[in-house]
Amino acid sequence: MGRYDALFKPMKIGSLEIRNRIVLGAMGIHTPRLLNQDGSFTEDGISFYERIAEGGTGLLVTSAMMVQHEFDVPKVSQAALDNISEEYIKNSKNLTERIHKHGAKIFLQLSGGTGRAGVPALMKGDPICPSDGLPNVWNPVEKHRALTKDEIQMYIDKFGAAAKKAKDAGFDGVEIHAIHEGYLIDQFTTKYCNTRTDEYGGSLEGRLLFPKKIVESIKSACGQDYPVAVRYSVRSMVKGFNDGAVPGEDFTEVGRDLEEGKKVAKLLESYGYDFLDADNGNYDSWWWAHPPVYMPRACNLEDCAAAQAEVSIPVSCAGRMEQPEIALEAVQSGKVQAVTLARQLVCDPDWPKKLMNNGAEDIRPCISCHDGCLNRIFKSKDLCCALNPAAARHIQYAITPAEKKKNIMVIGGGIGGMEAARVSALRGHKVDLYEKTNELGGMFIAAGAMSFKEADMELIEWYRRQMKKTGVVVHLNTEVTQEMIQETNADEIFVCTGSAPRKLNIPGVENDYVLTAVDALRNPEKIKGNTVVVGGGLTGIEIAYDQARQGNIVTVLEATDKILNVDVSAANLKLLYAEIKYYKIPVITNANITSFENNKVIYAVDEEAKEISADTVILSVGYTSVNPFEDTLTGNHVHVIGDANKVANLMGAIWTAYETAKDI
């Protein structure tokens, strides 16, 4: 018996047997490299899903396929299942057959569209929703009109027809998207979005009539035994339009509360749905459906468990369920019958296989950053992963044996340096990594020191284990000199010396109560009393949030007119803004710091002098590249990686290291 056996027991969705309790959640795959114009998947798209099936996942759910045209821009697929050709059936059979070859099952996700959650610039015609006048999520000035009853019936009919085409293409079932995340059908089910007075509004049963008729249409077209899953948010977690609740907040729910969520689960089962693919939240509380690092692990589990207790059909829980022990406990205890993973299976498609083979420590942990996945998807870029550059392109980015084995020198043991060393070693090169401190991890050790970043520290530990497993020779407490470089006579040299905190040339900056962000994160005992964070970028706001959630008094001073002017996912940004509001963190913009004196920060706003008391000041004003070999190491055999070349995020360092090392 293996430790994780409970995750690998078969389960039934209707009459369909799934080999285990691990489900790939649907993720947007909408770019031409992965998706054909008719909505079928290209060879790269098929390979993406096949790689996950090969890794041991039991059920795969594809990205959403519209049943009706909604968008009108070239970068977004124009496909909808109401007008597909025989070519779609042929291409999709190629996908389903290849998934089945690996013993997995696959559902096609069908969508009625976004309603008020659609991006206005991408939407076609006059935007729709359940009730007249609902504000658009992204631009509340934009108002949506109500669907007519004839239009609703058109959608219902198209769901049935689309499911029949999916069945003809070899899909084992369909998943309706759905009563989830605040998309069109979910808007019908929630009382704050549905003020209709006809049969599609009013009572709970009236608000659920649309999804009820959808499953009836599908069962009529495909047969009662054809499995139909539904993506389902147990709770909306919404206080109002564009106003979501944060974990632990006491609030009045305007959407679906837990009691209603349990009733809805029972009704969905009675209507004929065979599987609830569940979580929480909608676009007004987007961080519950797409939980970033700031959300607790298993953030939706207890609510999904409450739904499972009401029904006999299987419920799967999504939302930071990637930690093996959490997934195991959820299924083993009977809280839910399955777990839905998405980002973790992009980060490491062999998550199931590694658990089956007692290799949990080799799983590359997802850090819930959203940088390579959700943030890219919303820019109409290919789905990928910040930590796994080969995601969705594993054939092109395969690590292959090097034709000529070389001596590789890696200077710097941060994440970029360890990635360069790992990939080089996997290709068969002899790799020596030199780190001037007594531990590997570099600046990421400080980044991972915040209380909500357990996964960051797990990633560092994963890299340290990979150094041993791949045979990289690590030299700690070793500062590389020019003489050492000459003595090693390396064929290829990676310069991964990272960055250093940017300094402010301001009177009083040398006071011992003035800390850099790195110093504060590495030495939290130095943070005392009232704290002022100088800098409202991502790191500064994360530090302020971390201090506030520990009960400390903290204020943010930002030199520009806007905080969080950074390129990160909207789910991350929305949650951070909501947490600032919840914890009542004072944020002062346009603050020009002039000095630090007598435990005070002296600054000016619009030339008006101000001051604030501070027992601790934390400077988070950016970083500068560090490359001590800039003038002495040149040539095609020298590769400057990550922050040493240009200060960026973790994804930039890992991708550059991987892309360089895989080709040398």
Same structural domain, 555 and 574: yes
Domain match, 245 and 363 both: yes
**613 and 654, same domain (yes or no):** no
To 10 degrees, the CA torsion angle through 645, 651, 656, 662?
A: 160
The parent domain of residue 133 ranges over: 5-377
Task: Quote the pLDDT of residue 178.
Answer: 83
Q: What is the CATH number of the domain that holds 245?
A: 3.20.20.70
Asked if 45 and 103 sit in the same domain, the reply is yes
The last residue of a domain, from among 358, 377, 396:
377
> Which position has the token pair 């009662």?
224
Question: In this structure, is residue 397 part of a structural domain?
Answer: no
Q: Is residue 551 part of a domain?
A: yes
Measured at the alpha carbon of residue 392, what is the angle toward residues 315 and 662, in degrees to the nearest 5? 135
Provide long-range contacts, Cβ within 8 A and 24+ apart, for 187-191. 187/115, 187/116, 187/129, 187/130, 187/134, 188/130, 189/256, 189/264, 190/236, 190/238, 190/254, 190/255, 190/256, 190/282, 191/254, 191/255
Residues 6+ apart with CB under 8 A from 607: none
pLDDT of amino acid 87: 86
Q: Is residue 29 included in any domain, yes or no?
A: yes
* pLDDT for the residue numbered 70: 63
Considering the domain boundaries, does residue 324 fall inside one?
Answer: yes
CATH number for position 648:
3.40.50.720
Give the dihedral of Cα atoms 91, 95, 98, 104; nearest 10 deg: -160
> What is d(CA 521, CA 479) in angstroms, rounded to the nearest whole number?
23
Q: Does residue 535 contact residue 541 with C-beta atoms inside 8 Å? A: no
Active site residues: 183
- What separation, in Å, do the N-terminal and C-terminal C-alpha atoms of the chain show? 43
Whether residues 469 and 522 fall in one domain: no
Does residue 108 lie within any of the structural domains?
yes
How many domains does the chain contain in total? 3
Tokens representing 236 are 């909306």
Residues in the chain: 664
On whether both 228 and 257 belong to a single domain, the answer is yes
Q: What is the pLDDT of residue 9?
A: 98
**pLDDT under 50: residue ranges of the chain:** 72-77
| 443 and 559, same domain (yes or no) | no
Mark whether 416 and 465 lie in a shared domain: yes
One domain for residues 484 and 555: no
Q: What type of residue sits at position 288? A: W
Residue 247, in any domain of the structure: yes
Residue 346 inside a domain? The answer is yes
CATH number of 550's domain: 3.50.50.60
Same domain, 613 and 633: no
Q: Are residues 185 and 252 in the same domain?
A: yes
Residues 297 and 411 in one domain: no
Residue 507 within any structural domain of the chain = no
pLDDT for residue 1:
57
